[in-house]
Amino acid sequence: MPGTPHLDLHADVVDLTRTLVDTESVSHHEEALADAVETALRALPHLEVVRRGHTVVARTDLGRGERVVIAGHLDTVPVNGNLPSRLEERPEAEGGDLLHGCGTCDMKGGDAVILRLAAGVPEPVRDVTYVLYEAEEVDAVHNGLRLLAESDPELLEADFAILMEPSNAAVEAGCQGTLRVEVRTTGERAHSARAWRGVNAIHGAAEVLARLTAYEPRKPVIDGLEYHEGLNAVRIRGGVAGNVVPDECVVEVNFRFAPDRSEAEAEAFVRDFFHGYDVTLTDSSPGALPGLGVPAAAAFVEAVGGQVAPKFGWTDVARFSGLGVPAVNFGPGDPMYAHKADEFVPVADLRRCEEQLVRWLTDGGEGRA
C-alpha cells in the first residue's frame, strides 16, 4: 500500500490531478488516497466531513435554497504500464496539452476539479455536497455510492447532482439502463460421426442470432434528447468436446434501453423478443431520466453553454435518479479513452470544467460559456 500523499487543494488543477493519478488506487485499494482526501478536506473550516469506508463526503451548510451533489469515484481499473503520470506538451496542437496516466480520464481529473471547488468556493450560492467514493469500477455490491445511499441516504439528499464522469467537458444527461440475459437452446448429445442421432444446440442458436441481426433499435426522444437503444449478443458458449454434438448453447445478450423504460418493461421486451426460448435474467440496472426541467439543472446547462447530449451507457447518475435526484454527467476527458493503456485527459478539459463549475457555484449560473 503506498504512503499517504499530501494534497494541496490550492495547487493548479493539473498538478493536483497528477498527484491523484500518481497515488495508485485500484479498486479495493483506495485507502491511501481516501486518507489524503479526508485529511485535506478536514482542514477546510467551511466544510462538514464524514467518512464511510473509503468514501469521503464534505458538505457546506449555508442555508441556501438549493443543494447540489458533485460526485466522483476514487478508484481506477488495474494499472497497465501507465503510471506515473506524464504531461505531453503540445503548444502548437489543436486541443493543447495532454495528461497521460491510469485514471487521468476515468476519473481523477474530475476528482481534482471537485477538490479544487471544495477548497476554492467556500461560499457557493447553492449548498454543495462533495462525494468522493470507492469501488465504482467493480461489482455493484462494493460501490461506495450505493453503500452510502443505504447507510446514510440523508447525505445524498439534493435538488440536483453532477457526476464527474468523462464526457468531453460537456453535459450528458441521464443514462441508459442495461440488462443482460442468457438465451438458451437445448438439443441432444451424440457422437459427431453419427450426428443424425442427436440434436445440435449450437445450430439451434441460429434463429436467436437471426432475430438479433434483424432487430430495429428504438430511438425515443426524451426532454429533447434522442436516445438509441441496442440489443446485442456479447458472448456465446456451447460444446462439450471436439467429437460430440452439443446439447446446450447459451447466447448472452446485452440490452441497453432508454431511460423511459423501467427495468421491468425492459425485461418484458427482451422476453417477448425471444419468445419460445428459455431466457434467464442475469443482471439489470435502471436508466436515469434527464431531469433537465429542475431549476438547478436548467441553470447549470445555461452556465455551461446550453448544449446537452444524451448519455449512451450506464453511469452512477442512475443511483441518484433512484433516490429522486435528477443528475447529469459532466467531466473532463473522452470516455473512449477510459480504461485504455494510453488513457489521457486534455488539460483544456480540466480547466474548462473547473471554470464553468466555479461560475455556476458563484454567480448562480447566469453566466455564459
Residue whose C-alpha cell reads 439534493 in the numeric block: 158
d(CA 320, CA 146): 9
**Measured in Å, how far apart are the chain's first and last C-alpha atoms?**
42
Reply yes or no on whether 136 is catalytic: yes
Q: Which residues of 55-81 are buried (b: 16+ CB within 10 A; e: fewer)?
A: bbbbbbeeeeebbbbbbbbbbbbeeee
d(CA 112, CA 133): 13
The answer for residues whose C-beta is within 8 angstroms of residue 334's C-beta and 6 or more apart is 105, 166, 168, 346
Catalytic residue among 24, 136, 247, 343: 136
Amino acid identity for residue 236 in this structure = I
For 361, the 3-state DSSP assignment is helix
CA 292-298-301 angle, to 5 degrees, is 95
Q: Which residues of 212-228 are buried (b: 16+ CB within 10 A; e: fewer)?
A: beeeeeeeeebbebebe
Catalytic residue among 30, 75, 172, 247: 75
d(CA 285, CA 264): 10
Instruction: Report the relative pairing of strands 190-191 and 244-245 from DSSP bridges.
Output: antiparallel
- In 187-292, DSSP assigns E strands to 190-191, 221-222, 225-226, 230-238, 244-245, 248-257, 278-285
Phi, psi (deg, nearest 5) at residue 158: -165, 165
d(CA 340, CA 77): 9
- Closest to 70 (Cα-Cα) out of 132, 148, 140: 132
Could you list the active site residues? Answer: 75, 136
